[in-house]
């Protein structure tokens, strides 16, 4: 079919092409050519004497050299195996209703994504979710996939793996030297990790969220007030994953959100999360008191059929918790939390999300939509951190986790927010304890309130720390937080800032391969391989630009100094000279190594002229 005809006429403009001097490779486990695990390989200068550096890569086919996206066709399915998975049934699915797109007029309606696909759901009680498979002892293709994906660079670091894990501080984490599919299965079976992978999102490249795996990053996107093209909306996702977002939450509201979400999911190689209560609220005209179970349930099914991989559900905001927020400095700051608080209080009723939680589980299980149990009562400022409302909700989330697990659903738990450094660790400890080690997924936390315009930084400090303590995924914050809507540069800054936090956490936990990238960078620095430094970094473009502002000439890319100190003061060059001198001395005096040892024993005596 010629799907082009149905597409909007504005140009298709998602970003494609390799990131820096890298190429995309896919690896297939032996005998499983249908499982193609992506990796980004950074070429290094021949003088490096190093193998190319392979890095984890959530950017999907968009960063391939030869990929031409066809948004209307959607991405090719990464999970082709779903077509033959037992226990699933194809069915017609729910008809799209006017309210799904915010009652937008025909003239402004964004067309649905025409990519052809079947809608599936679990047919009976046979295992359907990754948790159910794991408990049944079944290793799924998704588990094999993520095991290979997580092992990246570990083969390179294998000799040091045990030592690095030992040298790290994991606060009870059990990061393995090597990740086997069986290890993945065990972690999922005990609820300590999830693979958010709706069976209706075959385009997604499986990834895992859990404290014994690499720390992940989520980026939020939302629709523009006036959508000029679907490509513009899809591009937000493509741009965020290009810089390292492992999942993307679509927080759009208003018109066309059903159809735009369709375009995003069909073209997303990463799991997509949503907050269904936002759309449900739109359907009842924005009045929280009019929400009810029927409209919410209908929204869950609508989004589950589309392929949303995880839902934020604020079922922990109970009626009894609401008065606990009365004396807060900033009250309730979560949108979902305040919607539910208003609902509860206006009706003087217990939350329907809490009361209908079993039914929510039943729906989410059929599609393997993972729970992201929302922290609707998270603190909105330093003053409110770790208060009774926040912790009461967390305890409820622990209770709900067990129910969801019993129902076969995968669960992660959302966390704060605004927390000063000395109150971060207790959040992690309480979450692990109350929620049975279900993965923690935190927003920052911001460690101070005083820097609007810089909250990517205030929050990256908290994010790095809580990631180290055991948080499995970090929700990014952009420089525009508290001030306005992030633009393209803000999204990039937010994602890269959070990649820093996640990587710093991996290093500190003693991840056996994380330091390979740091070491490659450090060797490139010491060798003055400037191009390699740019390419190994998280943002080659910015690094190159900053360098060139001071020393733009190509010749300086191989210069043995940089603009900070200039040739006369270059300490690295001095160290290199030093090593040459030392080597010469060693030659002359038969062995620098022995000399060093003597040095340590006898101090300065040895080299006194004889």
* Near a second copy in 345-364, by CB under 8 A: 345-346, 348-350
Containing H/E element for 272?
strand 272-274
Nearer residue to a second copy within complex by CB, 403 or 572: 572
Query: What are the beta bridge partners of residue 119?
Result: 91
The residue within the footprint of a second copy, chosen from 138, 522, 554, 591 (CB under 8 A), is 522
Between 234 and 333, CB nearer to a second copy: 333
Check the CA dihedral 284-255-351-132 and report its sign. Answer: positive
Name the nearest CA neighbour of 365 among 426, 332, 407.
407
Dist CA 194 CA 209 (whole Å): 5
Q: Tell me if 546 contacts a second copy by CB under 8 A.
A: yes
Q: Torsion angle, CA of 396/398/404/408, rounded to 10 degrees?
A: 180
- Within positions 216 to 275, which residues make up the interface with a second copy, using CB under 8 A? 253
**CA distance between the termini of the chain:** 89
Handedness of CA 486, 538, 239, 468 (dihedral sign): negative
* By CB under 8 A, residue 21 contacts a second copy: no
Contact between 542 and a second copy by CB under 8 A: the answer reads: yes
- Minimum distance of a second copy from residue 226's CB (angstroms): 14
Q: Which residue has the tokens 């390979």?
A: 516
Contacts of a second copy in 499-518 (CB under 8 A): 499-501, 503-505, 507-510, 515, 517-518
* Run of H or E including 231: helix 230-242
Shortest approach of a second copy to residue 583 CB, angstroms?
A: 9
Name the phi and psi angles at 413, rounded to 5: -120, 130
Closest CA to 467 of 202, 215, 109: 215
Cα–Cα distance for residue pair 202/204, rounded to 1 Å: 5
325 or 410, CB closer to a second copy? Answer: 325
Would you count residue 318 as binding a second copy (CB under 8 A)? Answer: yes
Pairing of strands 37-42, 22-27: antiparallel
Under the binding rule (CB under 8 A), the answer on residue 290 touching a second copy is: no
13 touching a second copy, by CB under 8 A: no
Interaction of residue 569 with a second copy, rule CB under 8 A: yes
Only segment of 20-28, 122-130, 301-309, 522-530 that touches a second copy (CB under 8 A): 522-530
Site for a second copy contains 592 (CB under 8 A):
yes
Cβ distance to a second copy smaller for residue 138 or 574: 574
Q: How far is the CB of 87 from a second copy (least distance, A)?
A: 38
What are the E-state strand segments in 499-569? none
Q: Among 337, 398, 416, 494, which residue sits at the site for a second copy (rule: CB under 8 A)? A: 337
**Rounded Cα–Cα distance for residues 527 and 561 (Å):** 10
Per this entry, what is the length of the chain? Answer: 610
Beta bridge partners of 217: 474
Instruction: Provide the 3-class DSSP secondary structure of residue 349.
Output: coil
Nearer to a second copy, 138 or 606 (CB): 606
Distances 143 to 29, 148, 149, 185, 422 between C-alpha atoms, Å: 12, 9, 10, 7, 36
Q: Does 286 bind a second copy (CB under 8 A)?
A: yes
Residue 579 Cβ, how far from a second copy at the closest point, in Å? 7
Q: Are 440 and 471 in contact (CB under 8 A)?
A: yes
Find the part of the chain contacting a second copy (CB under 8 A) among 3-11, 175-183, 341-349, 396-404.
341-349
- Binding to a second copy in span 73-102, by CB under 8 A: none
Report if residue 45 touches a second copy, rule: CB under 8 A. no
Per CB under 8 A, does 582 bind a second copy? yes
Q: Nearest 5°: phi and psi at 576?
A: -65, -45
Q: Does 599 bind a second copy (CB under 8 A)?
A: yes
Interacting residue with a second copy among 62, 278, 310, 528 (CB under 8 A): 278
Is residue 538 within 8 A of residue 496, CB to CB? The reply is yes
Site for a second copy in 405-464 (CB under 8 A): 420-422, 447-454, 456-458, 460-461, 464
Asked if 288 is part of the footprint of a second copy (rule: CB under 8 A), the reply reads yes
Residues 366-395 that bind a second copy (CB under 8 A): 380-384
Residue entry with tokens 């809608």: 119
Query: Quick one: which of 154, 185, 480, 557 contacts a second copy (CB under 8 A)?
Result: 480
Q: Choose one: 20-28, 74-82, 137-145, 482-490; the region binding a second copy (CB under 8 A).
A: 482-490
* Residue 184 and residue 399 in contact, taking contact as beta carbons nearer than 8 Å: no
Least distance (Å) between residue 309 CB and a second copy: 23
Is residue 103 at the binding interface for a second copy, with CB under 8 A as the rule?
A: no
**301 vs 582 by CB, closer to a second copy:** 582
538 forms part of the interface with a second copy (CB under 8 A) = yes
> Minimum distance between the CB of residue 335 and a second copy, rounded to whole angstroms?
5
20 interacts with a second copy by CB under 8 A:
no
Q: Are 154 and 96 in contact (CB under 8 A)?
A: no
Single residue of 1, 33, 564, 590 touching a second copy by CB under 8 A? 564
CA 109, 114, 117 angle in degrees (round to 5)? 135
Distance of CA 144 to the CA centre of its chain: 19
Q: Which helix (H) or strand (E) holds 59?
A: none
User: Please, what's the largest Cα pairwise distance for the chain?
Assistant: 95
Question: How big is the site for a second copy, counted in residues (CB under 8 A)?
Answer: 128
Residue closest to 513 by CA, chosen among 40, 245, 177: 177
The H or E element containing residue 218 is strand 216-221
Nearer to a second copy, 73 or 543 (CB): 543
> Which of 126, 159, 483, 558 touches a second copy by CB under 8 A?
483
For residue 256, is the peptide bond before it cis, meaning its omega torsion is within 30 degrees of 0?
A: no
Binding segment for a second copy (CB under 8 A), chosen from 76-84, 293-301, 307-315, 543-551, is 543-551
- Cβ proximity to a second copy: between 90 and 585 the closer is 585
The residue (of 211 and 266) whose beta carbon lies closer to a second copy is 211
Q: What is the DSSP string of 537-603?
A: SS-HHHHHHHHHHH--SGGGGG-SS-TTTTTTT-HHHHHHHHHHHHHHHHHHHT-HHHHHHHHHHHG
**List 228, 579, 587, 591, residue binding a second copy (CB under 8 A):** 579
Query: Does 156 sit near a second copy (CB under 8 A)?
Result: no
């Amino acid at each position: 079919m010629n799907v082009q005809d149905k597409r909007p006429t504005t140009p298709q403009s998602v970003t494609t092409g390799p990131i820096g001097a890298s190429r995309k490779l896919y690896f297939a486990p032996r005998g499983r050519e249908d499982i193609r695990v992506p990796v980004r390989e950074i070429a290094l200068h021949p003088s490096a004497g190093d193998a190319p550096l392979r890095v984890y890569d959530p950017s999907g086919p968009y960063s391939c050299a030869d990929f031409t996206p066809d948004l209307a066709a959607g991405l090719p399915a990464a999970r082709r195996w779903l077509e033959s998975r037992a226990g699933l049934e194809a069915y017609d699915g729910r008809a799209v209703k006017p309210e799904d797109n915010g009652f937008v007029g025909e003239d402004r309606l964004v067309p649905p994504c025409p990519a052809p696909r079947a809608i599936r759901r679990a047919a009976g009680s046979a295992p359907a979710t990754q948790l159910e498979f794991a408990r049944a002892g079944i290793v799924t293709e998704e588990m094999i996939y993520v095991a290979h994906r997580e092992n990246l660079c570990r083969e390179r670091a294998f000799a040091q793996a045990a030592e690095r894990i030992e040298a790290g501080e994991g606060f009870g984490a059990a990061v393995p030297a090597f990740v086997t599919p069986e290890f993945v299965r065990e972690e999922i079976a005990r609820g300590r990790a999830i693979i958010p992978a709706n069976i209706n999102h075959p385009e997604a490249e499986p990834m895992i969220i859990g404290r014994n795996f690499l720390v992940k990053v989520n980026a939020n996107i939302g629709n523009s007030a006036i959508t000029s093209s679907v490509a513009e909306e899809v591009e937000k996702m493509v741009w965020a994953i290009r810089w390292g977002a492992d999942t993307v939450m679509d927080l759009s509201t208003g018109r066309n959100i059903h159809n735009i979400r369709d375009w995003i999911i069909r073209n997303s190689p990463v799991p997509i999360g949503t907050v269904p209560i936002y759309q449900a609220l739109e359907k009842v005209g924005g009045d929280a008191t009019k929400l009810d179970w029927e409209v919410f349930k209908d929204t869950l099914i609508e989004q589950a059929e589309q392929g949303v991989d995880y839902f934020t559900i604020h079922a922990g905001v109970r009626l009894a918790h609401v008065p606990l927020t009365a004396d807060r400095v900033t009250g309730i700051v979560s949108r979902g939390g305040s919607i539910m608080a208003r609902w509860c209080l206006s009706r003087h009723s217990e939350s329907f999300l809490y009361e209908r939680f079993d039914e929510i589980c039943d729906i989410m299980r059929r599609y393997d939509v993972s729970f992201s149990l929302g922290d609707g009562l998270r603190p909105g400022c330093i003053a409110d951190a770790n208060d009774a409302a926040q912790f009461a909700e967390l305890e409820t989330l622990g209770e709900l986790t067990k129910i969801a697990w019993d129902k076969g659903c995968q669960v992660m738990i959302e966390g704060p927010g605004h927390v000063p450094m000395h109150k971060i660790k207790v959040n992690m400890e309480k979450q692990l304890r109350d929620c049975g080690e279900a993965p923690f997924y935190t927003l920052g936390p911001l460690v101070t309130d005083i820097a609007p315009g810089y909250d990517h930084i205030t929050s990256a400090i908290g994010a790095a720390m809580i990631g180290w303590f055991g948080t499995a995924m970090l929700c990014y914050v952009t420089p525009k937080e508290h001030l306005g809507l992030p633009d393209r540069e803000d999204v990039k800054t937010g994602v890269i800032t959070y990649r820093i936090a996640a990587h710093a956490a991996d290093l500190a936990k003693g991840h056996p391969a994380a330091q390979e990238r740091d070491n490659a960078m450090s060797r490139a620095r010491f060798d003055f391989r400037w191009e390699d430094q740019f390419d190994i970094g998280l943002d080659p473009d910015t690094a190159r630009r900053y360098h060139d502002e001071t020393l733009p000439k190509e010749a300086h890319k191989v210069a043995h100094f940089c603009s900070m100190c200039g040739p006369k003061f270059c300490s690295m060059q001095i160290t290199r000279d030093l090593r040459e001198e030392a080597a010469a001395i060693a030659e002359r005096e038969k062995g620098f190594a022995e000399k060093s040892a003597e040095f340590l024993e006898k101090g300065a005596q040895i080299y006194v002229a004889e």
